[in-house]
Chains A and B, each alone.
Chain A
């Protein structure tokens, strides 16, 4: 079904624009047209579906479900729910305070907060379509395990001391679970608004991502990657993670770049490390979290994630060799 986008790109590139098939430019233009149309189409359809389905899940319900569960189950639930529960970054502070004040352990709360931006169901499907479903599985698993281990580590090291003390003085809410009633029609219209919202905020990332992907695809020769970023180059993984820390992109923008990097022969582990680091560590999010977490905790957070992604990178490179 998705071949229609390849055909569409061929018609535009070769017939309409009359670009010579054998040129770098043709390759880049073809890639750009095919990927932008395909990603925007998939994104719209998937977001509508996902938005509708997850109108049954909310942070309030997650808190309720996590309450009083044994730790192992709470961690598992926290990362699974983290992967599918959306919350706007401006809600992360009330969410953090409400979780802790109702007795959810700091580690479980952090596991939820770490996983949520990192694992994104739409990106998971885009990866499957562009790169392969084993890559999707690796992406989701790595995201969840990183969140769980990170949370457990915070728990084990008793890092409550790195949380701003006022958080622990907040009393538990008496309204345990308040949900406004939603009709099916309202759920659809919310899914529609959400999709429009997300498209509005990610389209720039997608265009930049596809543009970058298209230029690499058309103009950077494969030999360059084989020479500079092969599995034997041990510096490649840490370098990919460090370069990605200040880069922040929505995960959907990373998909076309990852697709090209892997096609050009960049090892899977190195690519995965680069993606995770780009998506998980964002400066604006850190600034917001500073209201409830001390600088030491934020440094620990960034350091832990960077280290985790480096280990993931080496691990996958070794495994796929």
Chain B
């Protein structure tokens, strides 16, 4: 099971990103462990300064702005 982390301080785009990933996982039947990290201290200590950012299994795949549908599908496969 893939571990997907969304980093965001609670802004609209960060929440949309989380929902997009959740919906995509359901649509393609991928089982994921999805977490939303709101804590700016944790973001900073992991080197993230642009939100929303997405890490898959601890690897940064996206930051700043909304990801596209195709990108999300690629991560979850």
- Interface of A toward B, CB cutoff 8 Å: 58-60, 63, 87-88, 90-91, 93-95, 97-98, 101, 166, 170-180, 189-190, 193-194, 197, 291
> What separation, in Å, do the CA atoms of A93 and B38 have in the docked complex?
11
Residues of A within 8 A of B63 (CB): 58, 60, 180
**Range for the number of chain B residues in contact with chain A:** 20 to 34
B44 within 8 A of partner (CB): yes
A193 to B69 Cα, complex, angstroms: 13
State whether A174 and B47 are in contact (beta carbons under 8 Å apart), knowing that A93-B40, A94-B9, A291-B40 are contacts in the complex.
Answer: yes
CB distance from A164 to the nearest CB of B (A): 11
What is the CB-to-nearest-CB distance from B73 to chain A, in angstroms, rounded to a whole number? Answer: 15
Residue B65 contacts which of A59, A97, A177, A190 (CB distance < 8 angstroms)? A190
Bound state CA distance, A36 and B9, in angstroms?
34
**Can you list the 8 inter-chain pairs with the closest CB atoms, starting with the nearest?**
A175-B47, A90-B11, A97-B44, A173-B47, A98-B44, A94-B43, A59-B49, A93-B40
Instruction: Kindly provide the distance from the CB of A225 to the nearest chain B CB, expressed in whole angstroms.
Output: 40
A71 CB to nearest B CB, Å: 21
- In the assembled complex, the Cα of A234 lies from the Cα of B68 at a distance in Å of 54
Query: Complex: how many Å from CA A88 to CA B43?
Result: 15
Complex contact A94–B13 (CB within 8 A): no
Known: A98-B43, A174-B47. 14 other contacts (CB 8 A): A60-B63, A87-B50, A87-B64, A88-B64, A90-B8, A94-B44, A94-B48, A95-B49, A171-B45, A173-B47, A180-B62, A193-B65, A197-B65, A291-B40
CA distance A174 to B48 in the complex (A): 11
Q: Which residue of A lies closest to B11 (CB)?
A: A90
**A-B pairs with beta carbons under 8 Å apart, 20 shown:** A58-B49, A59-B49, A60-B47, A88-B11, A90-B51, A93-B40, A94-B7, A95-B49, A97-B41, A97-B43, A98-B47, A98-B49, A171-B45, A173-B44, A175-B46, A175-B60, A176-B47, A180-B60, A189-B68, A194-B65
CB neighbours of A59 from chain B (8 A): 49-50
In the complex, chain A residues whose CB is within 8 Å of the CB of B47: 60, 98, 173-178
Beta-carbon contacts of B1-18 to A below 8 Å, as 1s and 0s? 000000111110110000
Q: How far in angstroms is the closest Cβ of chain B from A165?
A: 12
A86: nearest residue on chain B (CB-CB)? B64
State the Cβ distance, A106 to closest chain B Cβ, in Å. 15
